[in-house]
């Protein structure tokens, strides 16, 4: 897995990948899927659009930079579209400051920063949770960052907490020992990935004498040796105001907030005043690696063969970087890109990804190709080399250049629609580039890139003698045949002793006081009510064919978000054709009656827009994003795909092969294997949730099956569309009528029965052993409730208390924070329209798995029998309500929430009444739900990964 930064196409995807890989904890319980594609029509229009967007860029508009006397850099930006604010503190220290022997110490310190301070000796995640802050942290090459997004009246409280842990963090022997165990578990999780292992070997070869060649998270041998004084010295050396950037973006008054910042942070001493060495040391500049005459080859257990090629590049200030970024887009972005055509469309590979990483002291261009089954990596490398040589020899076409520029710029605009992302953009530019305005200059430079520039940088940097090539060749297919449940170890366990619930916390006395907000909001988004902070309800209508539409104008950004749902999901898959629903959804954009796959993709790619169809259990999810001016093409393309798709044979076979490759990779992932076996152990055959694709079922699907499925299940009367963004409703309604009004429907919509499923009679343990894995993944749980169940709201509160996040919840505090048995542990309440599942997920070292499972079950037993406290309930309610309000400030989250409310049959007012319903939940209701839904002695427990070491004390 490539760590954070900094190619602009994957700039924020890499950032958020870094948040997943290198974080202390993750408060989000919903993984985000996204594909990014882009494109346009006339060169004149494209050039005009690019120039207009750059001139009107809002990324650095209204940003104010202030440097306090103690050296703290403060960036502020008022954004009054919602009553929320993001507070982020970024320190100028990351893995670049490390060396062999200390690799991972910045990451280890990041973990320790949540352990409390002298003034507040409590887990800081509990404080953030009590504030309702959406908080997290990550470590990267150049920085370590801590961020939180809260309602505006909690701004000062968040500042107080960050200032406290900048100076007063506790780093104690017992806590360090526990957290080292957690970090090692985290590192073992990365080692489960063949991609991570390949990347680590290639980067070490590319930077043999520089910290860029070290893994950002560290390595087990170094982490085990960290001592308390060593970590404390690192903290004293780097966590000072003159080595930090504080960024505040959102609904606040700049002058008043700066006074508050000076009051809270201004008294902290800079590094020189605190005594000791300066923190400005740097590692030695990168030196060229010795040429490698042959590729690095990893022959290990895994699923798919991979080719990774990495070329060294200059640092991010070099004038060639913008041209290199545009070159990357021409080579690999979208279906019309050169390497996609040469490798994926040809059937050689299932995926090709790339990024330009630009850092302070060096950079690199990284290409990763995942081979299709039985394809030769040497042949793939030859084709890749030929495509690059052809670019150098023949140059690029004007339309390729314009398309790439548009894709790149649209990506920057679309990735900055919410305040958290805007704050991250500013902070990253200020630390990595030394100037928060870097992105604006970068976009201006991109607009000046010429066709000659592309050829020149390709010729200059993509030289065979400078690159490092890595090959991953799987030695065996590490596939668990879940249907036969191989490697089973089933046991029945009795709980002889239940853990005592956590004592009532004294969190309140450590929370800073909240401010009374009297600020006058200067600007209000079209979808926000200033009086009560409730959203204006969307306009709702139905077409004559039954298609339901919700429209919510929002002028806060020049973008649009389209979400949709079609009741054509995996629940309709027959066992012998499992995977059919996904194959249909994946092929909707493979060709229509009037356009082939390339033309469909091109219409979007030329505009920097995206449109994707993804099948999940209860439906097909439609996700579209674009600039506001491009909403017509999104709607037109959507209409063409759902009405006129033809499923060309060649494209269908390519997608089938990619599905088979994806399946092999899933069955090499312990998390996917554990989840699959968990679900199939919980729900019997013939149940709509039981069916999962297999190699056999995918190969049995015929083209006529795909056409028949599409004809039967893709219907306007089972489709809902939600559009949020900068548009006029009357015009959009007309566009929808024109593009989708003639979508025909016949007969009654198909239905499906979800039979009731009893709880297991006792504990069922299933332990599939996966060779070559370092970390174990456990899923444990039972059946739950659906979305319409009146217990849904108290169950949400219960889930938040139990495992809503991995540090402040009961499970997090006990299993993760106190015992250090897992890097992450969460509970989930998946309440869908027709069924519900409750489960807990955790990642552990194999020697800790049984102990972690036993501790978890004891906690479940204690809560089942004794319940939770009134303080727990109030804290959880506040957290849920605050996080909900924060999520609605993001147009993606807002659109998805409105969509699913409609799909689940909720009233249109649910978007505003949800918080009130949570507020009304009582302690008695939560404890009643705990007795009815938590059954620690009647659950399925699946642990996938290395062989779990037996611990008779916890059997």
431: DSSP letter: I
**Using 50, 70 and 90 to split pLDDT, how confident is the model at 507?**
confident
Report which secondary-structure segment, H or E, holds 858: helix 849-866
Residue 521: which residues within 8 A CB-CB, separation 6 or more?
Answer: 80, 83, 251, 530
Phi and psi at residue 198, in whole multiples of 5°? -65, -45
pLDDT by residue (tens digit) across 88-145?
Answer: 999 999 999 999 999 999 999 999 999 999 999 999 999 999 999 999 999 999 999 9
pLDDT of 86 strictly over 70? yes
Residue 284 has pLDDT above 90, yes or no: no
List strands edge to edge, sheet with 84-91: 63-67, 73-78, 244-250, 84-91, 144-151, 134-139
Q: Structure pTM?
A: 0.90
- Residue (of 387, 379, 381) closest to 458 by Cα position: 387
Q: What is the pLDDT of residues 553-612, one digit of tens each?
A: 999 889 999 999 999 999 999 999 999 999 999 999 999 999 999 999 999 999 999 999
30-44, 683-697, 767-781, 852-866: least confident range: 30-44
pLDDT at 745: 87
- HEC letters along 283-314: CCCCCCCCCCCCCEEEEEEECCCEEEEEEEEC
Question: Dihedral sign, CA of 781, 782, 786, 792?
Answer: negative
What pLDDT is stored for residue 477 in this prediction? 55
Backbone angles phi, psi at 719, to 5 degrees: -115, 140
Contact 24, 805 (CB under 8 A): no
Closest alpha carbon to 571 in 679, 702, 681: 679
pLDDT tens-digit series, residues 910-925: 999 999 999 999 999 9
Residues 6+ apart with CB under 8 A from 877: 797, 918, 919, 921
Exposed / middle / buried, residue 819 (Cβ in 10 Å: 0-12, 13-18, 19+): middle
Which residue, chain included where needed, has tokens 């200067």?
A: 522
Q: State how far the Cα of 414 lies from the Cα of 9, in Å rounded to an integer.
A: 11
Cβ-based burial of 35 (10 A; exposed 0-12, middle 13-18, buried ≥19): exposed
| Exposure string over 350-359, b if 16+ CB within 10 A, otherwise e | bbbbbbbbbb
> Residue 52 and residue 61: Cα distance in Å, rounded?
15
* Percentage of the residues of the chain whose pLDDT score is greater than 70: 86
pLDDT band at 807 (very low <50, low <70, confident <90, very high): confident
CA 601 – CA 463 distance, rounded (Å): 31
Q: Please state the length of the chain.
A: 955
- pLDDT bin (cut points 50, 70, 90) of residue 824 is very high
pLDDT at position 526 over 60: no
Provide the total of helices (H) and of strands (E) in the chain, helices listed first: 33, 22
The DSSP letter of residue 818 is I
Rounded (10°) angle between helices 870-887 and 891-903: 110
What string of DSSP letters covers 124-165? HHHHHHHHT-EEEEEE-SS-EEEEEEEEGGGHHHHHHHHHHH
The token duo for 441 is 């200059």
pLDDT score for 516 = 65
For 597-611, how does the pLDDT look when each residue is reduced to its tens digit (9 = 90+)?
999 999 999 999 999
Average pLDDT over residues 5-30: 35
- Predicted local distance difference test score (pLDDT) of residue 20: 31
Distance, in Å, from the CA atom of 549 to the CA atom of 536, rounded to the nearest integer, reads 16
Q: Which residues contact 136 (CB under 8 A, 6 or more apart)?
A: 19, 23, 24, 25, 26, 27, 146, 147, 148
Which pLDDT does position 805 carry in this prediction? 86
Tokens 């505040």 belong to residue: 248
pLDDT at 279 over 60: no
Beta bridge partners of 764: 940
3-class DSSP state of 53 = helix
Lowest mean pLDDT of 297-306, 370-379, 486-495, name the range. 486-495
| Number of neighbouring beta carbons within 10 Å of residue 534 | 16
3-state SS record for 203-219 = HHHHCCCCHHHCCCCCC
pLDDT at 87: 98
Handedness of CA 875, 880, 882, 883 (dihedral sign): positive
Confidence of residue 27 (pLDDT cuts 50, 70, 90): very low
Q: What is the CA radius of gyration of the chain?
A: 27
Q: What is the pLDDT of residue 373?
A: 85
Q: Is residue 836 a contact partner of residue 786, using CB atoms and an 8 Å limit? A: yes
d(CA 388, CA 376): 19
Strand-strand pairing, 73-78 and 244-250: parallel
pLDDT mean across residues, the chain: 88
Q: Which residue, chain included where needed, has tokens 């649910």?
A: 910
The token pair that represents 925 in the structure block: 């209701």
Contact 186, 111 (CB under 8 A): no
The predicted-structure confidence for 345-400, as pLDDT tens digits, reads as follows 999 999 999 999 999 999 999 999 999 988 999 999 999 999 999 999 999 999 99
536: buried, middle or exposed (CB in 10 Å: 19+, 13-18, 0-12)? middle
Residues 68, 245: Cα–Cα separation, whole Å: 11
- Angle at Cα 767 formed by Cα 762 and Cα 770, nearest 5°? 165
pLDDT-derived band of residue 949, with 50, 70 and 90 as boundaries?
Answer: low
Q: pLDDT, tens digit, for every residue of 151-196?
A: 999 999 999 999 999 999 999 999 999 999 999 999 999 999 999 9
Does the pLDDT at position 463 exceed 70?
yes
Q: Which residues pair with 363 in a beta bridge?
A: 313, 358
In 3D, which of 687, 695, 659, 651 has the Cα closest to residue 581? 659
């Amino acid at each position: 897995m490539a760590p954070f930064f900094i190619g602009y196409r994957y700039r924020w995807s890499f950032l958020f990948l870094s948040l997943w890989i290198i974080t202390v904890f993750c408060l989000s319980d919903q993984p985000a899927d996204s594909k990014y594609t882009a494109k346009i029509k006339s060169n004149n229009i494209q050039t005009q659009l690019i120039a207009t967007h750059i001139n009107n860029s809002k990324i650095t508009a209204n940003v104010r930079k202030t440097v306090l006397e103690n050296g703290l850099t403060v960036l502020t930006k008022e954004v009054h579209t919602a009553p929320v604010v993001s507070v982020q503190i970024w320190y100028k220290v990351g893995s670049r400051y490390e060396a062999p022997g200390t690799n991972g110490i910045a990451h280890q310190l990041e973990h320790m920063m949540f352990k409390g301070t002298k003034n507040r000796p409590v887990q800081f995640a509990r404080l953030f949770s009590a504030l309702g802050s959406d908080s997290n942290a990550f470590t990267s090459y150049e920085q370590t960052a801590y961020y939180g997004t809260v309602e505006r009246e909690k701004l000062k409280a968040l500042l107080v907490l960050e200032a406290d842990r900048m100076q007063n963090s506790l780093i104690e022997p017992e806590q360090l020992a526990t957290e080292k165990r957690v970090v090692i578990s985290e590192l073992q999780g990365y080692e489960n990935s063949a991609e991570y292992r390949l990347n680590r070997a290639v980067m070490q070869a590319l930077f043999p004498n520089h910290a860029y060649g070290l893994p950002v998270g560290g390595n087990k041998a170094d982490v085990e040796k960290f001592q308390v004084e060593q970590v404390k010295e690192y903290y004293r050396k780097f966590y000072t105001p003159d080595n930090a950037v504080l960024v505040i973006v959102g609904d606040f008054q700049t002058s008043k907030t700066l006074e508050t910042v000076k009051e809270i942070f201004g008294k902290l001493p800079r590094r020189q005043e605190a005594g000791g060495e300066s923190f400005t040391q740097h590692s030695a500049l990168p030196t060229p690696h010795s040429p490698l005459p042959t590729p690095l080859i990893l022959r290990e257990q895994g699923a798919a063969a991979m080719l990774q090629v990495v070329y060294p590049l200059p640092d991010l200030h070099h004038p060639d970087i913008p041209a290199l970024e545009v070159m990357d887009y021409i080579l690999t972005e979208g279906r019309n890109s050169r390497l996609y055509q040469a490798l994926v469309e040809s059937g050689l590979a299932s995926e090709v990804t790339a990024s330009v990483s630009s850092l302070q002291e060096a950079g690199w261009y990284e290409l990763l190709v995942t081979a299709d089954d039985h394809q030769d990596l040497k042949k793939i490398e030859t084709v890749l080399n030929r495509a690059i040589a052809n670019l150098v020899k023949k140059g690029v076409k004007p339309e390729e250049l314009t398309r790439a520029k548009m894709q790149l710029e649209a990506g920057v605009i679309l990735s900055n629609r919410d305040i958290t992302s805007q704050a991250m953009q500013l902070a990253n530019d200020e630390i990595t580039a030394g100037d928060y305005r870097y992105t604006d200059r970068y976009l201006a430079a991109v607009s000046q890139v010429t066709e000659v520039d592309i050829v020149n940088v390709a010729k200059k940097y993509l030289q065979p003698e400078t690159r490092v090539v890595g090959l991953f060749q799987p030695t065996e297919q590490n596939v668990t045949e879940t249907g036969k449940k191989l490697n089973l170890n089933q046991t029945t366990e009795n709980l002889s002793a239940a853990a005592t619930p956590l004592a009532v916390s004294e969190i309140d006395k450590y929370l800073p006081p909240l401010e009374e907000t009297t600020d006058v909001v200067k600007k209000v988004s079209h979808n926000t009510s200033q009086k009560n902070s409730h959203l204006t309800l969307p306009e709702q209508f139905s077409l004559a064919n039954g298609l339901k539409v919700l429209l919510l104008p929002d002028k806060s950004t020049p973008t649009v978000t389209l979400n949709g749902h079609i009741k054509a999901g995996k629940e309709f898959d027959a066992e012998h054709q499992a995977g059919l629903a996904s194959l249909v959804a994946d092929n909707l954009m493979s060709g229509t009656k009037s356009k082939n796959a390339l033309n469909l993709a091109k219409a979007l790619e030329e505009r920097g827009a995206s449109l994707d169809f993804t099948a999940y259990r209860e439906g097909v999810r439609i996700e579209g994003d674009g600039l506001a001016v491009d909403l017509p093409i999104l709607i037109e393309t959507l209409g063409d795909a759902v009405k006129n798709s033809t499923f060309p044979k060649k494209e269908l076979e390519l997608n089938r092969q990619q599905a088979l490759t994806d399946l092999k990779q899933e069955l090499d992932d312990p998390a996917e294997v554990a989840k699959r076996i968990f679900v199939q152990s919980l729900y019997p055959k013939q149940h709509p949730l039981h069916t999962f694709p297999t190699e056999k079922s995918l190969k049995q699907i015929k083209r006529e099956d795909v056409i028949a499925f599409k004809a039967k299940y893709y219907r306007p009367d089972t489709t809902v569309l939600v559009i949020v963004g900068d548009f006029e409703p009357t015009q959009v309604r007309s566009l929808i009528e024109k593009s989708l009004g003639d979508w025909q429907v016949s007969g009654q919509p198909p239905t499906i029965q979800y039979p009731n499923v009893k709880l297991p009679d006792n504990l069922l343990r299933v332990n599939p052993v996966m060779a070559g894995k370092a970390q174990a993944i456990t899923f444990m749980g039972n059946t739950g409730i659906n979305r319409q169940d009146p217990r849904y709201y108290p169950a949400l509160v219960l889930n938040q208390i139990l495992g809503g996040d991995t540090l402040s919840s009961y499970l997090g505090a006990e299993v993760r924070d106190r015992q250090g048995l897992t890097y992450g542990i969460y509970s989930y309440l998946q309440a869908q329209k027709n069924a519900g599942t409750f489960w807990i997920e955790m990642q552990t070292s194999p020697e800790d798995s049984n102990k972690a499972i036993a501790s978890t079950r004891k906690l479940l037993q204690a809560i089942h029998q004794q319940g939770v406290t009134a303080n727990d309930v109030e804290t959880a309610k506040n957290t849920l309500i605050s996080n909900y309000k924060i999520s609605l400030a993001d147009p993606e989250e807002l659109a998805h929430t409105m969509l699913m409310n409609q799909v689940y049959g909720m009233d249109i007012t649910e978007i505003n009444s949800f918080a009130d319903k949570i507020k009304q939940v009582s302690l008695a209701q939560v404890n009643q739900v705990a007795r009815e839904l938590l059954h620690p002695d009647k659950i399925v427990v699946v642990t996938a990964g290395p062989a779990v070491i037996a611990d008779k004390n916890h059997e």
